[in-house]
Each structure stands twice: as C-alpha cells, then as structure tokens.
A and B are shown apart, each in its own frame.
Chain A
C-alpha cells in the first residue's frame, strides 16, 4: 500500500476501520447468551424516553475510549457493558465501591468461580 495509505491509518482511531484491509467475512453466527441480552436490555432501558440516562452516542464514546488493545480483545457485549458501566460511574448513578462490592459478592457466590482475566 502507498505511503498515503499508511499515514491515513495512523490518523484513524481504532474503531474507524472502513476501507482497511481485512480477511474473509466469517459468516457463522451464535445465539445471544442470556447475559448478552441482559446487557442489551439494560442499555435500552437506560436510554428510553422515561430515563434518558445514556444515549447511543455516549455508549459509542465509551466503547471508542476503550483503547485499541481492549477493543480488539473484548467481545461485542463486553465492550457494551464496559462502556455502560463507565458511563454510570461518571454520572454518579452507581459508585466504584458499590460495584466492586457487588461484583465480589457475585463472584464469591458462584460455585465455579470467575475466570482469570488476561493480564
């Protein structure tokens, strides 16, 4: 590819991938897991006319701020819940303490535990 193309690549943010080279489209599909539907439902409720707590643009801003490494390693709904959570923390709807405590409780109560996160 030309030099111009390389420059263009450098200036892009990582989510802005239109026109970049990539492999074949993998056409396999998975059924959405219950936790993924829960993420979707949480966002839909937070953005509905009754609440208007998080907009689509705020969700996207949160996803785009995850950074290139996280963006590529995380699955689609992992990016969503990370962004939703960051938005809720920023807006003071929930606090870091509450979240940390509740996550620890849920992890401790789950018989098979929690997967180690990649470093």
Chain B
C-alpha cells in the first residue's frame, strides 16, 4: 500500500484514521488491496513478521533486476571453466560471484550456433527472479504461456527474433521445483571486452530467450 501504516504498530489498532496522501486518497481501493493491507497488518500484529521485515523485503524485491544474471552470463562468456560449472549447477556457480540464486534449483540452458532456448511457465509464472528480477507481465500472460510451447518461432517473431530454419528451438517449461535461465551466445565482435562491458549487452529478455543479446555495435 502506498500509505504505509506499519509504523503504527505496537499500540491500540482501533483506529485513528491514517495519515493519507491527498493524491492517493481520492482513488477508491479495490477489495484485494484492502485484503492485502489487512493480512499484512494482522501478520505483523501477531508477530509472524515485523513491520521492519516487511518493509525490508519490499525493498529487496524492488532492488532485484537482471543485473545478477547478466553478471553471471558475462563471467561465463569470459571464463569457460566458470561456464562449465554454471551449466552444471547455477545456484552453486552463483555463490562464486556472491550472488544468492535462492534455494530452488535453476538450470542454465546454453544457446549455440545450432540451438536457441526459450523459457516459459505454462502452469503459472515460475521464473529465476533472484537472478533476473520480477517477471514481466507478458511472461505471466495467457498468450505467452499457451503459445510458446506450441509455436515458439511465431512467438519469438513477435519479439522481433527471427531464427534461421536450421536453428533448433528448445522450449523449457519451468516448474515450482526447477527453473531455467537462458545462457545466450556471446555476440561476435566482443573479443577483448571486459566483463562489465559484456554484461551491458545481456538483457532480461535474452535470458528468457525471447531476444538475443544487444548488438555490440549499437
């Protein structure tokens, strides 16, 4: 909620009006926004978690982006031994770079000259969020979830990614227990680049597999 009244806890909750932000208070709440506020408040009052923990978690979620994943990809491009370890076990390889990939196993699938990978979660929205941030809306949409497993080339084309016919497209359907990230192929023309510069080419969408990394000439 934009008006965060977690700071009020610790005293009687029966209820002075909250200090509202004038621009927000003119907008009606939805039923589920009210539920969200109420459930969070009740859990704080019951001591399930503290208001500080809740606030810190929101901040941590906000801070996640594709940066951690991009750093891993760039390191894998620069260091073949690391790449091999990453393909073996993403979560463990992440630790080498002080990246927390979480407790759910993530598998990296490597794009090569002959193979292009793309990830989807047909059942819901499983996604390597600790490495590449919160999923975009379209990843959770009915159209992406339905069509990617049946007509991946058409879906990729909608993202502007047209692959030659002789490139095999592999679609990976994530689950609550196993997630995927795409390890894109290193773009030609980046010989001698340092990892920081390489990481700049690695977008969220190319780690989902709907696009290729940015062009080094762009």
Contact = CB atoms under 8 A, between A and B. Distances in A.
A42 B40 contact: yes
Nearest to B145: A17
Interface residues of B, number: 61
Contact of B39 (A42, A44, A56, A63): A42
B141 A26 contact: yes
Question: Looking at B1, B30, B36, which has the most chain A CB atoms within 10 Å of its CB?
Answer: B36
A105 B15 contact: yes
B158 interface: yes
Contact of B176 (A16, A60, A84, A109): A60
A112 B159 contact: no
Interface of A: 15-30, 32-35, 37-42, 44-46, 51, 53, 56-57, 60, 63, 72, 74-78, 81-82, 84-85, 88, 93-94, 98-99, 102-103, 105-107, 109-115, 117
Interface of B: 1-2, 4, 14-15, 17-18, 20, 25-43, 46, 48-49, 53-54, 57-58, 61-62, 104, 120, 122-125, 134, 136-138, 140-147, 149-150, 155, 158-159, 173, 176
